[in-house]
Every structure is written in structure tokens, then in C-alpha cells.
Amino acid sequence: MTDTDEPTAGGAVAPGPDAPLSSDPVALEILRGTSRMLIDAGLTPISEFTLPNGRRADIAALDRNGILTIIEIKSSLADFRSDQKWPEYAEYCDRFFFAVKPDFPREILPAACGLILADRYGAEILRPAAPAPPLTAARRKVLTLRFARTASLRLAAVIDPGLKARSEAKDL
């Protein structure tokens, strides 16, 4: 257990707020189901997308019109209580959602945020995201280019894992 890990009910250890999604099996299930739903709806998701402010969105997704959606995965009540960085994502998206498992205590989530219920097989939007102020053209361009470059570098790293280290060394 590290100093960012937190005990949960039953003594299990939940990853801390800055841990990657891959370290939390519940978060991975939510990610899988939510990504399936997004693709079925015509959006292209990227997990752990780094925003210009340095924060890492659990999921960022673009639709065909360039609308950017950010989804914050909450795998447990402890995860929600320990990670309050999500308000910092609002200025980088057109829509913001929380994605949780069906047994998550939904009443604690802010009503202004969209709500997605997910499991490993799929997801459903229970509450649409409240309208957000439109992104400026300059910010939308920065985010869209960052999204495209991130997707391209990740695909290249699948073909050649050594490319990931090279791209990080060059700060691409």
C-alpha cells in the first residue's frame, strides 16, 4: 500500500487519486463499458487524456462535429471523496459526465454533471450533461490537435513499443 492508496470497506485497497486507471479493476470495467457506448454513439474515446492544465481526464471523446466530452470515472465513494480535481476539467470540454457502476451512491454526484451508469459490457446515459459555455476557437484547436497527436502516438506505440519512450523524450 502506498501513501496514495486508501483502504475501502472490507479492507481492500483502492488506488489513490493520481493512480492510472489500469491500477483499478473496477475503473477498467467502467472504462470498457463507457468506451463501447461512446463508440456506438459515434464518438471516439481516449483514456487518460492529458489536458493543457496538466490534469488527466479519465476519458476524452470527440464526436464528428468536434464536440469534446470529458468523462470522470468514479469507481467508489472513496475515489469520489479523495479526488476533487474534476471541476478543473470544465474549461476544456463541451460536456462533462461522471461514469459509475450501478451500485454507486449517485445522489452525492453534482446534479449539473451528466451521469453514465456502466459495467464491463456497456453503459447508459442516465442524465445528460448541463450545457456548458462554448470552447473558444483557439482552445478547441489546441484540444483537437492534442487529441489527434495523442491517438496517433498511442497507435504508433502499439506497432513499435519503443516509440513511446522516444516520443516522451522529445516531449511530443
Task: Quote helix, strand, coil % in the chain, to nearest 5.
Answer: 40, 25, 35
- CA-based nearest residue to 71, from 120, 104, 42, 38: 38
C-alpha 72/C-alpha 56 separation (Å) is 10
Q: Looking at 51-166, which runs of residues are DSSP E strands? A: 56-62, 68-74, 95-100, 114-118, 123-127
pLDDT in tens, the chain (172 residues): 333 434 444 444 444 444 456 678 999 999 999 999 999 999 999 999 999 999 999 999 999 999 999 999 999 999 999 988 899 999 999 999 999 999 999 999 999 999 999 999 999 999 999 988 999 999 999 999 999 999 999 998 889 888 877 766 666 5
